[in-house]
Amino acid sequence: MKLLHTLGHLQLVATETPTQPLFTGPKPLLLLTYLALEGPTTRRHLAELFFAQHPDPLDNVSATVRRLRQVDESVLISDGPELICGVRCDYTETLHAIGIGSVDIALDLYRGSFLRRADVSVSGAEFESWAYQKRSELAEALRTCLIENAELSCVRRRPRDAGRFAEQAWLLPGADEPTLELLARLHGVMLALQHPREAEVRREARRSALRSAAGSLLNQLQKTNMMAMYSRLCSNWSAR
């Protein structure tokens, strides 16, 4: 059985020999990654997404399909005009593990942020934006799951598990800057445990709170200025 690694290294491996990549060509594997996450996709859409700057985009898709099928015919499945990924993918399996609450399985699968070592810009701005969004979505889902498990472990009086989950949530690669709410929850766990990283989280929570307060103040000032401008305009209009 074949497995597409997208977390950390980008490579196609056999589950029987996971340390020996079967294929590492970046562009074909980026296309296969898109299919693995998005499901059946037309050749034309793939041509526009990955090869829009080429003279014959559809021919490039056909050449990519041939390269992947040289590894194994089952890697890609054709269904009329659509192509379907025929291999397992660590991204979707991580999401599934998070969804059923198997946090340790999710952590085992999450060996790095999504497409961290791949040059996602080679496939164009649209794909690059998609890749960054998917990276953020998975990391955020895992971080939230870790914080929930840390809180639950505290309630169940399992401080070792709570500390482990909290620290993994804090250090998780690929996640966006945490919201103030997440920082407050994480700090609550670390404070209760007297965790060595409690001070780090507290400092970041304070910085986040200051940024949030500054942003709210700026928005309020902008609204006040707009109201003042509107009042002046109304006064000028009435005076005419």
49 within 8 A of 35, measured Cβ to Cβ: no
Dihedral, CA atoms, 76, 78, 83, 86, nearest 10 degrees? -30
Confidence of residue 28 (pLDDT cuts 50, 70, 90): very high
Within a domain: residue 142?
A: no
Residue 83: CATH number of its domain: 1.10.10.10
Per the structure, the complete domain to which residue 44 belongs is given by: 2-91
Within a domain: residue 107?
A: no
Within a domain: residue 30?
A: yes
Which range has the top average pLDDT, 39-43, 123-127, 210-214?
Answer: 39-43
Q: Distance between CA 240 and CA 229 in Å, rounded?
A: 17
What average pLDDT score do residues 39-45 get?
97
The count of domains in the chain is 1
Within a domain: residue 47?
A: yes
Within a domain: residue 49?
A: yes
Q: What local confidence, expressed as pLDDT, does residue 239 receive?
A: 53
What average pLDDT score do residues 5-16 get?
93
What average pLDDT score do residues 107-131 get?
94
Within a domain: residue 56?
A: yes
Q: What's the chain's Rg over C-alpha atoms?
A: 24
How many CB atoms lie under 10 A from the CB of residue 18? 11
Query: For all residues of the chain together, what is the average pLDDT?
Result: 89
What average pLDDT score do residues 219-229 get?
50
Q: Model confidence over 60-82: pLDDT tens digits?
A: 999 999 999 999 999 999 999 99
